[in-house]
Amino acid sequence: MNTSPHQSSIELAARLGVDCGVGDVISTSSLGPSLHEVVLGHASRFAGAPGNDIMVRLASSPGHFTRRRYSVRAVDTDRDALTLWITTSHDGSGSRWATNARVGDEVDVVGPRGKITLDHDADWHLFIGDTSGFAAFYRMAQAIETPGRAIFIVEVDALDDVVTSAFDDALGVTGIFIDRQGRGPSDPSGVLSALAAFEFPPDVGHAYLFGEFSVTKAAQVALVDRGLDQDRISRKAYWRAGRNNADGGEPDKSDD
């Protein structure tokens, strides 16, 4: 196995103050029509805390490379492995990599990345977004101290795209999965109507919004209107409808 990352990955990791190395694909599988699992070996040190992600360096076109960020779904220190769940219903460098990945393929990994982790003072945790958020949502929910409560409001392209997970029996879990029914990916109406129908539990709650730029933005406004404190809302746009993420992995956040 080649153990040297590209010089640009080494420099990026140094700038970010994180680790860098070469991971190798040890398994891949399809979790549904729009979601692919990729398990990377030699990679557990990049996993960080629930909510964190890694950056991978991928070919975007012959001779060109880009970076994409993926939340860590699970970490297995015995196998020195971490698991990613990657959306594949669109055409992009990341979706092509996940779909075509073969056992033994190598990839530069930089991480851990990300500032949003679990709010341990909250009694209930509300996870809002789309298929791209499943990995982070489920890893974070599995880290909630019991008794506690996890609520998922996740929009999917079709109900076949819903993936579920096992949780501690002492955790209260509510899953609200919204069928997009052909609405555009930046149309927040499905998520907003599910949110409007959902009554906040008592006590302290924290909302985590991961997914499409405009949908997560609209959900954030709706949560503030409902009286949730800004400090209890963590939003990260993962992608933006109609626009490629930049080579640094971030979606366009301009206002137009």
Ligand X SMILES: Cc1cc2nc3c(=O)[nH]c(=O)nc-3n(C[C@H](O)[C@H](O)[C@H](O)COP(=O)(O)OP(=O)(O)OC[C@H]3O[C@@H](n4cnc5c(N)ncnc54)[C@H](O)[C@@H]3O)c2cc1C
Burial of 227 (C-beta count, 10 Å sphere; 0-12/13-18/19+)? exposed
Interface with ligand X (CB under 6 A), residue from 23, 94, 129, 190: 94
Q: How many residues of this chain interact with ligand X, rule: CB under 6 A?
A: 30
Q: Can residue 70 be called a binding residue for ligand X (CB under 6 A)?
A: yes
Residue closest to ligand X, measured at CB: 92
Stretch that binds ligand X, among 42-50, 129-137, 188-196, 214-222 (CB under 6 A): 129-137
Q: Are 22 and 106 in contact (CB under 8 A)?
A: yes
Quote the least distance from Cβ 239 to ligand X, whole Å.
Answer: 4
* Greatest Cα pair distance in the chain: 54
Query: Which of the ranges 14-22, 88-96, 142-150, 199-207 carries the binding residues for ligand X, by CB under 6 A?
Result: 88-96
Q: Tell me: does residue 182 bind ligand X (CB under 6 A).
A: no
| Per CB under 6 A, 92 contacts ligand X | yes
- Told to check if 69 binds ligand X by CB under 6 A, we report yes
What Å distances lie between residue 103 and 20, 28, 70, CA to CA? Answer: 20, 7, 19
CA torsion angle for 255, 233, 47, 243 (degrees, to 10)? Answer: -20
Place of tokens 């891949």: 28
* Closest listed residue to residue 105, CA positions, set 200, 2, 181: 2
Among 90, 183, 217, 232, binds ligand X (CB under 6 A): 90
Torsions phi, psi for 35 (to 5 deg): -135, 130
Give the shortest CB-52-to-ligand X separation in angstroms: 9
Enumerate binding residues for ligand X (CB under 6 A): 53, 68-71, 85-87, 89-90, 92-95, 114, 132, 135-136, 185, 236, 238-245, 249-250
